[in-house]
Structure 1
């Protein structure tokens, strides 16, 4: 047990709080005390604890209500309940709800210390989720984010596949790397691939490899990312964009831990843990038949849901200063801080691009700052520029080009579908299907009757 192990004692009896405080200090713990459940929750948000010891019967929020609130925000934080009104129903209810231990007053000090030691061992030592996250480069004081981090770090040492959901820019790959680094596979490779950024025709070869001559341009054998990640972790980003045909092959590889290179006849055994991420609504994709249910359950043994930056606004100043330090190092600058006006502006911004957008804004400000404190005007300018239309994703660019192309053809042919289809190198049926997909009507491009 480490001297840094922090125990929060919650009891509305000041004399008992003082007694427990002295006993815990003598045993080498770092105790803190609160007189109510409501105060305990506020205290935990400011400074995490490793174990909570709470009285069952208190004015306002009782011990079990406090436990329920803690379980909702910090799922892995162990709670020990004390009561002078001990009864079998109380103990059964506490245990059923997941309370780590239940002691009846007056209790034996050694029994409490034994429970504390077991609680610390269950959670892997005295390191809090926040401290552990910071060790992996993740900075937060958001209860919602800390709850997801606790789940992530708790599952890290298992072999369970994890699906990380969250909007673009919320830090899904950062969390995946933290899980890998906290796992028993940390010494093995961490290999990441964006399934939405690679054309369907190449993604199978990228994942499973190919043999020489498997297709035009395959001039030598390629191992593929599964074999590259052997003994470590494979991170499949934007898994929701994977084509259905390839989902079948991925499911087989996950079930058998065997991959078959494109054009090859023999399978190759691999030992890979798969973490995946998506910004898509996979429930909707499942309902519409765009994602296989069996693959979903294979990938999402454990699910994490990352909040948007707007849902964790208390982290904006913390992240801004982290990015400021990193940008200084990259650009060789010495910008010391952000002005109060700049911080206020950052805290109130919408952040549709989440953490990635905040990082871009700070990067701009550092690059353009002429003083050692970033002023509000510079942040305002960077925010305005950063919300201008960015380079769209490839799929979106293709859709936009295709629509504009069809409009030009219809204008050129004055709505004559046969001529437009011929110019496009498509038959009429295919051309009508394209028009329907883009909600275009040939009749709208025909010249008005009786026009001058």
Structure 2
């Protein structure tokens, strides 16, 4: 069978719809898909694309952003409204990242830049077809990662995670420390087409600044003193999968510039190398800080913020879903007791009431720490309120007795100093004495925290 005959046969059994008004681009894409064993159909305008989408089913749609009768964004929106299970990817002019971001926000699965790299095309098509293929009914829906709780807030998170898993758009996970941001990132990865490939989690705040470039991008032998062999970086390690950048706000500005270029070009250059290498990585980032405020203060690049924050997933604080605390607590206790080879204790009504009334500034992570401590120290078969050993919450005001302040002498300033000292000590405990992180938790500058500690007579940790 000739190439032309095979092409016509493939068009009758088309898997992919190509929307582009340039015949040479359509032909290049058709031939590339043909070599992958896929049939292709084509359209030259938005109107023609809509007509073909309404008359038959495809597994993938590739559309140029500039068409004679409109924009590819119209095709993206049409697919999102009428073909919800169809992945659609856009082809943008080189350097037109704003168009790509707009398409991703509108629901596009992914994007390609002109001139189209066949290597990137193959990677995109493979991911898209994995998304559109029916999953086995026996496969666990969440890949083994679950969110406990039946609150409305968690139902919303689950629905959002499932939608994000069907896209390759960069995701920014916001939320307080301990609220489950990394778990959300792992669920997005596990539910998506990259689940069989690596998930690499990187704590950006834990890497010394002088090692960041070599850690992220790798290096060649002899690139610097101590580089005795070639080494892959995080991007290479996550190739084909997902790279999770935790505490991305801690990246120094110089590294932000380099990260932005890699996200846009999808290519990395090892330290000491003269050649770039293509990488296929989905980026999910997170931080407990307010990235928008950091942008406004000049501490985070605005262009990188827009590339990372294509879609935001907000993780609610535990105090915003108190109805989930009983189920969470018993589940955590069961796991901890199982790991210790013990029978699972029960929380008394008083203990449960104490937990439900606590603010949990450290969220689920703090709940786990509290229960682990209670399990180790409790003497009875059940865990009572006293076993939780919860101190008065920072910032909470004790109920006055007979209208008097609950501090010696009834002096308002003494009372406020007492509360401020409790809050600072709690933050220091949670950060293991790290005053920089403690200041971030308290929402003050490092200098302000140091001044307050000196004024209150607190020892310098």
TM bucket (normalised to shorter chain) is 0.5 to 0.7
Equivalent residues in 2 for 1:273-288 (5 A)?
Answer: 273-288=282-297
Distance 1:273 1:150 in 2: 20
Contact residue 256 and residue 301 of structure 2 kept, 8 A: yes
Residue correspondences, number: 284
The structure with the largest alpha-carbon Rg is 1
CA RMSD in angstroms comes to: 3.4
| 1:265 lines up with 2:265 in the alignment | no
Q: Is the 8 A contact 2:172 2:312 kept in 1?
A: yes
**Distance (whole Å) between structure 2 residues aligned to residue 219 and residue 283 of structure 1:** 41
Aligned residue in 1 for 2:176: 167
Report the CA distance between 1:323 and its aligned residue.
0.6
Q: Deviations over 1:93-141 (max 9, x none)?
A: xxxxxxxxxxxxxxxxxxxxxxxxxxxxx9x99x9xxx95695221121
Per-residue deviation at 1:147?
1.1
State the match for 1:136 in structure 2.
145
Rounded to whole Å, the distance in 2 between the matches of 1:260 and 1:309 is 42
Q: 1:334 to 1:435 in 2, by over 3 A?
A: closer
In structure 2, the residue matched to 1:176 is 185
Out of 314, 320, 329, which is 2:323 matched to?
A: 314
C-alpha separation between the residues in 2 aligned to 1:163 and 1:290? Answer: 17
Alignment of 1:234-313 (within 5 A): 234-313=243-322
| 2:350 is the alignment partner of 1:350 | no
CA separation in 1, counterparts of 2:353 and 2:165? 36
**Cα distance between partner residues in 1 of 2:228 and 2:426:** 44
Rate the CA distance shift 1:310–1:370 in 2: closer, same or farther, 3 A.
same
CA gap of 1:255–1:327, structure 2 versus 1, over 3 A, is: same
- Of the three residues 376, 383, 396, the one matched with 2:435 is 396
**1:133 and 1:139 in contact (8 A); partners too:** no
Specify every segment of 5 or more residues in structure 1 that has no aligned partner in the other structure, as ranges. Answer: 1-77, 79-121, 401-433, 441-452
Task: Describe the shift of the 1:313–1:224 C-alpha distance in structure 2 as closer, same or farther (beyond 3 A).
Answer: same
Secondary structure of 1:312's aligned partner: helix
Q: Matched residue of 2:201: which SS?
A: strand
Residues 1:134 and 1:143: Cα distance change in structure 2 (over 3 Å) = farther
The verdict on how the C-alpha distance between 1:191 and 1:394 changes in structure 2, with shifts beyond 3 A counting, is farther
For the residues of structure 2 that align with 1:399 and 1:339, how far apart are their CA atoms? 33
| TM-score when normalising by structure 1 | 0.57
Q: Which runs of 5+ in 2 are unaligned?
A: 1-83, 85-131, 394-421, 440-445, 453-461
Contact 2:347 2:383 in 1 (8 A): yes
Partners in 1 of 2:434 and 2:389 — Cα distance?
31
Equivalent residues of 1:238, 1:279 under 8 A apart: yes
